[in-house]
Amino acid sequence: MLEYLDNLPEGVSFDMPDKYMESAAVIRPELLMLLLQACKRVKTKRLFLWFAERYHHPWFVRLDISAIDLGRGKRVIVKGGKLDKHYLITVPDEVKLLT
């Protein structure tokens, strides 16, 4: 999933990555932490965590976000999108965090 999000073409719809993350209910948080810590792409990590939080996956609460380098500053994922103030990434206006 991290590789998929890293190679997400600019301007592509969020429909497919959204469906993939929706179905990612079973992930080993220990392994995911290692992958997120090894990942060098700030945009990729932020987008992955944004999607994980969107779906309230049970493994998300077991991640130590403070141990993941999320860089500094804002990142543009979608030009003209809205800024998510928590992850400092732009996402499409129509996609919102689920409550």
pLDDT (tens digit per residue) in 3-52: 999 988 776 778 889 899 999 989 999 999 999 999 999 999 999 999 99
Q: Which token pair is 52?
A: 């994980």
Domain that holds residue 31: 2-6+15-91
What is the phi/psi pair of residue 77, to 5°?
-95, -45
Alpha-carbon distance 63 to 30, whole Å? 8
Q: Is 53 among the domain residues?
A: yes
Instruction: Give the chain's domain count.
Output: 1
Q: Is 58 among the domain residues?
A: yes
Q: Is 67 among the domain residues?
A: yes
pLDDT in tens, 43-81: 999 999 999 999 999 999 999 999 999 999 999 988 888
> Taking the model in full, what pTM does it have?
0.90
Residue with tokens 């992955």: 48
Residues 6+ apart with CB under 8 A from 69: 37, 42, 45
Q: Is 97 among the domain residues?
A: no
Q: Is 50 among the domain residues?
A: yes
